[in-house]
Structure 1
Amino acid sequence: MPAPAQTATQGPDRVVYHIDNAAQQATKGLRNIRNHLDVAPDTQIVVVTHAEGVDFLMEGAKDERNPNVDYAALVSALKARKVRFEVCEITLRNRNLKKEQFSMDAEFTPSGVVRIGRLQVREGYGYIKP
Structure 2
Amino acid sequence: MKKIAQFLACLVIAFGFLTNASAQSTAGSKVVYHIDDAEVQGIKGLRNIRNHLDTAPSTTIIVVTHANGVDLLMEGVKDKKNNIEYAPLVSALKSRGVKFEVCEITLKNRNLKKDQFILDADFTPSGVVRVADLQYKDGFAYIKP
Aligned residue pairs, count = 123
Match status 1:80 vs 2:95 = yes
For each residue in 1:14-50, what CA deviation from the matched residue of structure 2 results, as whole angstroms up to 9, or x when unmatched?
0000000000001000000000000000000000000
Residue pairs, 1:4-19, within 5 angstroms: 10=24, 11-19=27-35
TM-score by length of 1: 0.92
TM-score by length of 2: 0.82
Higher helix share: 2
For each residue in 1:35-73, what CA deviation from the matched residue of structure 2 results, as whole angstroms up to 9, or x when unmatched?
000000000000000000000110001101111x12111
Identity %: 67
Distance 1:41 1:71 in 2: 21
State the one-letter code of the partner of 1:77. Answer: A
Q: RMSD value over aligned CA atoms?
A: 1.2
For each residue in 1:70-125, what CA deviation from the matched residue of structure 2 results, as whole angstroms up to 9, or x when unmatched?
21110000000000000000000000000000000000000000000000000000
Match status 1:90 vs 2:93 = no
Please point out which of 50, 55, 69 is paired with 1:34.
Answer: 50
- Residue aligning to 1:123: 138
- Secondary structure of the 1:108 match is strand
Match status 1:112 vs 2:127 = yes
Unaligned stretches of 5+ in structure 2? 1-19
Distance 2:90 2:38 in 1: 13
Unaligned stretches of 5+ in structure 1? 1-6
